Amino acid sequence: MLVPLGAAGGRSRWTVNHGGQIYAVFVHDGEIVVTDGQCPHRRGPLHEGIVRDGAIVCPWHWYAFDLATGSCRTAEMYALRRYRVVLADGEAFAEIPSSARRSWSAILRAHAASESSADGQ
């Protein structure tokens, strides 16, 4: 599934919400990089981190993830999911697999929304 990223508009980072998930978007070395929006360690907000030496550093516990590969420079047991960026008609899109893992809270919110819309019929 292609998810529109919007225009950078001079920003070097921003988030995109889609399907109950948050994705972090970075402009690094002139390229757009899309990752999961939360740190795989403790779900810290990666878009609020520091980009240094080609890595995003989580603001909560300082885990550093290589923007080119997603590998963690701090602990081998973690890796940051990256998503392919596709350009079409001058716009950038993230290629998000339909099987992208959703958090339990996102699943429950979606379920509650579908239940409440069914009650209103």
CA angle 75, 23, 49 (to 5 degrees): 50
Answer for the pair 53, 44: CB distance below 8 angstroms, yes or no.
Answer: no
Residue 119 predicted with pLDDT over 70: no
Answer for the pair 45, 37: CB distance below 8 angstroms, yes or no.
Answer: yes
pTM for the structure as a whole:
0.77
Looking at residue 6, its pLDDT comes to 87
Using one digit for the tens of pLDDT, what is the confidence trace for 92-108?
Answer: 999 998 765 667 777 77
Residue 114 predicted with pLDDT over 80: no
Mean pLDDT along residues 56-72: 95
Looking at residue 99, its pLDDT comes to 61
Using one digit for the tens of pLDDT, what is the confidence trace for 65-95?
Answer: 999 999 999 999 999 999 999 998 889 999 9
Mean pLDDT along residues 45-72: 95
- In the chain, what are the domains? 2-119 (2.102.10.10)
| Rounded distance between C-alpha atoms, residue 92 and residue 114, angstroms | 30
Residue 118 predicted with pLDDT over 80: no
